[in-house]
Chain A
Amino acid sequence: MTLLAPTRAGHPPPAPPAARSGRRRLLPYLLLLPGAAWLLIFFGVPLVQLASASLYDPSGSLSTGYAMTWAVGNYPDVLQAYWPQFLRSFGYAGLALVLALLLGYPLAYAIAQKAGRWKNLLLVCVVAPMFTSFLVRTLAWKTILSDNGALVGLLRDVHLLAPDGRLLATPFAVVLGLTYNFLPFLVLPLYASLERLDPRLLEAATDLYASPVQAFRRVTLPLSMPGLVAGTLLFFIPASGDYINAELLGTPNEYMIGNVIDSAFLVRLDYPQGAALSFLLMAAILAVVFGYLRRAGTEEVL
């Protein structure tokens, strides 16, 4: 610093031509332009439309047309009518998340640290189900869990299931479906974090009297936190808004908020209600996410 300062002061760098520096300052914005335009047209505009739809007069219909009456009352109304589905959405998504963490963390750890030359193959295996459609995969689960399927038969035989007990059309099936369908979104970011974990740090921890459990808690877990936070969000957000799993693997008793929104828009054609529910869901998810990030305290994600 002290050496450089006088040189700098003695020879001020020639001022760059105004036009060039202006263009350089604009460059980041120019690069942003296509993406921003895309977002504006396909996300911003529909969002505003949806927001206004959520305030339409609820007594209108598609045939008679909707009047904009700033009906803020739509929000408390839908909340009152569908709060069980809201709670169920977050409950199921949360349960599925716990299951996915129990399955996914060891899986990601094993692939990242222990798989050796099988690493890439295992990663492909994690992603492979995504090559088929979400719908097809869920339908396949419907077959697996069906009442006269092999699984139910086996469970009945070993008395883990009552003779008339079933898996399909239960909350269990829906949570299972959610867990399965969104697992890769949890595993991949976790894998990326754990892959960067230097095994020598674990050696250092054990050298410094940390038992394997302590080494995990004090070194592995904190260092995998960015991947854990990202994976949890990527899992939880789509899972709590999902309706396919409840639709195909559950009954109306297992319907989540996604099912309600689906039927409001496509069956009952009650646009104000559907829009209000969508906005509530968005707000709830944002609240959960921010609350979570606050607690997890990871600067790397936001």
Chain B
Amino acid sequence: MARETPAGDLRLANLTRRFGVFTAVDDLSLTIEQGSFFALLGASGCGKTTTLRMIGGLEEPTSGQVLLGDRDITRLRPYKRPVNTVFQSYALFPHLTIFENVAFGLRRRGIRSVDDEVTRMLSLVQLDGYGDRRPAQLSGGQQQRVALARALINRPQVLLLDEPLGALDLKLRRQMQIELKRIQTEVGITFVHVTHDQEEAMTMADTVAVMNAGRIEQLGPPADLYEFPATAFVANFLGQSNLLAGEATGAGGGDVAVTAHGTRFSVPAGRSRADHGPVHLGVRPEKLILVGSADQVPAGHQHVTGVVTDASYVGVSTQYLLRTGWGTELSVFAANSGTSTPVAVGSEAVAYWDPRHAFLLPRDAADTDRTSPVLDEPVGASS
């Protein structure tokens, strides 16, 4: 895969943007291969839009560089960059028809016959026949698709998408995802895609980056991030994890031994990011299996006991909460495959896992157990 000349790779080098004393993007360095699909995930306000704006030239970095191939485009005016943006706020031109909105970029580049291309683009986003309307006469989701068409029609080298499908219903969103992926692979545009939809990021992207407070916490293929997260934030931002606070007591025989809440566990060394000192022992809820008593735990597996405090049936699975002896509630997802018997709320149960499914992360000494997912938008305490 490694190429000698990075023909059109997008590179961010120590990119930083400060607003006063507040650092919105903090020393960001990454390379996005030409023609790849890069998804940027992160909680609200973590600097995703600011990063895109610096790539698009709408925001000047406080320091650092943006490079396209070998070309430094950090100070290049936005209209001279082969980059287009689908704005989070759509930013459609209210005085122009949908047709003219979509044709805007082509016309500015002096292309005369735009009719065919615009019509094709409108039908791609399923807005045939809407060309004569004004943006104000469209629904939110329709406006969002116009924003998509308006950027996509230019076939830029890099397309920046700031939550381009957020306002669409599930069915339309899936269709658009397929279309986007198709265009991206056909035309070879580099996509930088900001989304709040983890599934979208996981299914579409070659590389996913999880951002937190202006920094990239982890970056890699989606499965890597999910199966072996690098930080507690990533573990609970992408999906959910049960993280138990413990102390690693050193590696030996290919395993790292951990003591957590008075019990000894072990994790394969290859799945440990620390082998001594304070650690988080992590297991995904779907990797936990719930049984009635400890003698049902197969050999080579590890377990904790507790009391089932909640069971919610969600169709494909049942989600249990297991309160351990030290008070932490672990999540357990039991697939509704018909092979396991339901466990009653209030009864004692044992959750066990295969150590190869666990992972070990370094932990701040003050950090305790963490089991709840990172909420993207802060939700009101009791609403």
Interface residues of A (CB under 8 A from B): 198, 200-201, 203-211, 214, 218-219, 222-223
Could you tell me if A211 and B79 are in contact, using CB atoms closer than 8 angstroms? Answer: yes
B104 within 8 A of A: yes
Could you tell me if A210 and B94 are in contact, using CB atoms closer than 8 angstroms? Answer: no
Could you tell me if A201 and B108 are in contact, using CB atoms closer than 8 angstroms? Answer: no
B8 within 8 A of A: no
6 more CB-based (< 8 A) A-B contacts, given A201-B94, A203-B58, A206-B57:
A200-B89, A207-B83, A208-B105, A214-B108, A218-B108, A219-B93
Most chain A CB atoms below 10 A, which of B84, B85, B87, B104: B104
A201 to B150 CA separation, bound complex (whole angstroms): 13
B154 within 8 A of A: yes
5 A-B residue pairs with Cβ-Cβ distance under 8 Å, sorted by A, are A205-B104, A206-B57, A208-B108, A208-B151, A218-B108
A222 to B101 CA separation, bound complex (whole angstroms): 14
CB < 8 Å: which of A203, A218, A222 contacts B91? A203
Interface residues of B (CB under 8 A from A): 56-58, 77-79, 83-85, 87, 89, 91-95, 104-105, 108-109, 150-151, 154
A110 to B382 CA separation, bound complex (whole angstroms): 46
A11 to B362 CA separation, bound complex (whole angstroms): 69
A17 to B100 CA separation, bound complex (whole angstroms): 51
Nearest-CB residue, chain B, relative to A199: B91
CB-CB < 8 A to B151: which residues of A? 207-208
Could you tell me if A207 and B93 are in contact, using CB atoms closer than 8 angstroms? Answer: no
A218 to B94 CA separation, bound complex (whole angstroms): 12
CB-CB < 8 A to A206: which residues of B? 57-58, 77-79
- The minimal Cβ–Cβ distance linking B341 to chain A, given in whole angstroms, is 45
Nearest-CB residue, chain A, relative to B160: A207
Nearest-CB residue, chain A, relative to B95: A222
Could you tell me if A208 and B154 are in contact, using CB atoms closer than 8 angstroms? Answer: yes
A62 to B174 CA separation, bound complex (whole angstroms): 87
A201 to B211 CA separation, bound complex (whole angstroms): 27
Asked if A209 meets B91 with Cβ closer than 8 Å, knowing A203-B58, A203-B78, the reply is no
CB-CB < 8 A to A210: which residues of B? 79, 104, 108
A198 to B93 CA separation, bound complex (whole angstroms): 10
Asked if A198 meets B91 with Cβ closer than 8 Å, knowing A207-B78, A207-B79, A209-B79, the reply is yes
Could you tell me if A208 and B58 are in contact, using CB atoms closer than 8 angstroms? Answer: no
A210 to B373 CA separation, bound complex (whole angstroms): 43
A214 to B154 CA separation, bound complex (whole angstroms): 17
CB-CB < 8 A to B150: which residues of A? 208
CB < 8 Å: which of B91, B105, B109, B154 contacts A200? B91
Nearest-CB residue, chain A, relative to B153: A208
Closest 6 CB pairs of A and B: A204-B91, A208-B105, A209-B108, A206-B78, A200-B91, A206-B79
Could you tell me if B89 and A208 are in contact, using CB atoms closer than 8 angstroms? Answer: no
Could you tell me if A207 and B108 are in contact, using CB atoms closer than 8 angstroms? Answer: no
Could you tell me if B95 and A200 are in contact, using CB atoms closer than 8 angstroms? Answer: no
- The minimal Cβ–Cβ distance linking A200 to chain B, given in whole angstroms, is 5
CB-CB < 8 A to B77: which residues of A? 206
Could you tell me if A209 and B105 are in contact, using CB atoms closer than 8 angstroms? Answer: yes
A173 to B79 CA separation, bound complex (whole angstroms): 44
A209 to B85 CA separation, bound complex (whole angstroms): 11
Asked if A201 meets B93 with Cβ closer than 8 Å, knowing A207-B78, A208-B150, the reply is yes
Could you tell me if A208 and B94 are in contact, using CB atoms closer than 8 angstroms? Answer: no
Nearest-CB residue, chain A, relative to B53: A203
A214 to B56 CA separation, bound complex (whole angstroms): 18
Could you tell me if B84 and A208 are in contact, using CB atoms closer than 8 angstroms? Answer: yes
CB-CB < 8 A to A208: which residues of B? 79, 84, 104-105, 108, 150-151, 154
A120 to B105 CA separation, bound complex (whole angstroms): 36
CB-CB < 8 A to A214: which residues of B? 108
A147 to B253 CA separation, bound complex (whole angstroms): 103
A201 to B57 CA separation, bound complex (whole angstroms): 15
CB < 8 Å: which of B57, B83, B87, B109 contacts A204? B87
A205 to B104 CA separation, bound complex (whole angstroms): 8
CB-CB < 8 A to A223: which residues of B? 94-95
Could you tell me if B109 and A207 are in contact, using CB atoms closer than 8 angstroms? Answer: no
A214 to B80 CA separation, bound complex (whole angstroms): 13
- The minimal Cβ–Cβ distance linking A198 to chain B, given in whole angstroms, is 7
CB-CB < 8 A to B109: which residues of A? 209
